[in-house]
Structure 1
């Protein structure tokens, strides 16, 4: 499940109504008023599926949740206690990330690219945790990628 798929159209509409910029997805206003609600909603959808016995993969940085340790704790997330949480942290240097965003040319990245120095201050180094599996996407290696998949499974 991808946060932008689940909430993209809704959040775009809200941002158009509030800031007159439908692509304003990384400004302080959006981060203060929508971000946490989107992530919580995605976790709520995951909980419903987990309670039905359906495995779930969530897509999103979840930076705040990882940094706080909440993402490693089923109880803190409000999901079934027996849930096995595995996190793939895909690392990419800031300059490479900027190049990828520019090449992607998605209007939702406009704020990030225009305010790059402010945006990169939000990039975090995740804590060391047994459930967190790092993968360096800059030096892609098929064997390392297969190892990551094995670790996640």
Structure 2
């Protein structure tokens, strides 16, 4: 995999954190594997040679290592010296876990709700429209509902973004908090899509030719939307993770969906996950999915067709995941909530 060096990478800081925790390279490796397994991440090999290479600066840690390091040391990427912070990004974990209310504190639920709200504000900015404010309130409300309060009205949340942008991880984060159904397009339809492409005489991993775009893609999204409505009809809110490139570029499509949902008493929220091309490529290379082969083989052609600077006009919230910042913050928030509610 291509090694990506971030501006601001300071390997010595990683060693300083390990030593401050009193860990040898072998012990740090053991704990990295444990924390990755506990959080459902791809478990890194984390042998002492690899960790030594990270600390010496000869190998830049991949995304799975960086997430595990951040969880282990309770810090974000800029704090660990992996990169420079984004504008306005806090370089220290603001909510020190030791300062949060203990589970026996009667303010536990309120503390958890506050952590969730602060996290969403950090990754998406202060509410700039009614839809954004409504979604933020609904996420916190869903947390309270899981504890016996909140509104029963369902909501359909679309989480879109380019391949490797972090939309699936952010969708999982929302689902963790809210308990809403998490529906990933690839998980739901990949087997069907691959078999259908073969039956039509195509490549099972094709995601860019006219055959896929005209004959297969519409059915793929239809399956996703119908599965969502099966949940919504029984009062279960749903989070859909898919690129939604063509859909969110079409205000009429979003309007029709909103009207269809409104007629059934269902709210709609549209989230766009923004990411930089370098980070997207890193994640695409890391996951190693055959369906991404064309993108990687024709990267410049692929990237030239993307607009990574702005969000679709139909998006209610833009999550800033450049350099993986939003996903790192989501990991920290999960840890904080576990400590509050343990």
Q: TM-score, normalized by length of structure 1?
A: 0.77
**CA deviation after TM superposition for structure 1 residue 56, in Å:** 0.4
Unaligned runs of 5+ in 2: 1-182, 334-342
Matched-pair contact (CA < 8 Å) for 1:87–1:132: yes
Structure-1 separation of matches of 2:288 and 2:315: 35
Corresponding residue number in structure 1 for 2:178? none
Structure-2 separation of matches of 1:70 and 1:140: 32
Corresponding residue number in structure 2 for 1:134? 319
Corresponding residue to 1:30 among 207, 212, 219: 212
Unaligned runs of 5+ in 1: 147-153
Matched-pair contact (CA < 8 Å) for 1:47–1:79: no
Matched-pair contact (CA < 8 Å) for 1:85–1:131: no
Q: Across the two proteins, how many residue pairs are aligned to each other?
A: 144
Corresponding residue number in structure 1 for 2:104? none
Greater shift in the superposed pair: 55-64 or 79-88: 79-88
Matches within 5 A, 1:3-18: 3-18=185-200
Matches within 5 A, 1:85-124: 85-124=268-307
Task: Describe the superposition over 1:86-139 as per-residue Cα deviations: whole angstroms up to 9, x where unpaired.
Answer: 233221111221222122211111121123233224434423457233222415
CA RMSD of aligned residues (A): 2.6
Corresponding residue number in structure 1 for 2:203? 21
The structure-2 alpha-carbon separation of the partners of 1:54 and 1:122, relative to structure 1 and needing over 3 Å to count, comes to farther
Structure-2 separation of matches of 1:16 and 1:78: 36
Corresponding residue to 2:229 among 35, 47, 55: 47
Q: TM-score, normalized by length of structure 2?
A: 0.38
**CA deviation after TM superposition for structure 1 residue 25, in Å:** 2.5
Structure-2 separation of matches of 1:14 and 1:108: 14
Task: Describe the superposition over 1:66-95 as per-residue Cα deviations: whole angstroms up to 9, x where unpaired.
Answer: 11125643x436742132222332211112
Corresponding residue number in structure 2 for 1:149? none
The structure-2 alpha-carbon separation of the partners of 1:33 and 1:22, relative to structure 1 and needing over 3 Å to count, comes to same
Q: Which runs of 4+ in 1 moved over 6 A?
A: none
Matched-pair contact (CA < 8 Å) for 2:249–2:313: no
Structure-2 separation of matches of 1:66 and 1:134: 15
3-state secondary structure, aligned to 1:80: helix
Structure-1 separation of matches of 2:252 and 2:301: 25
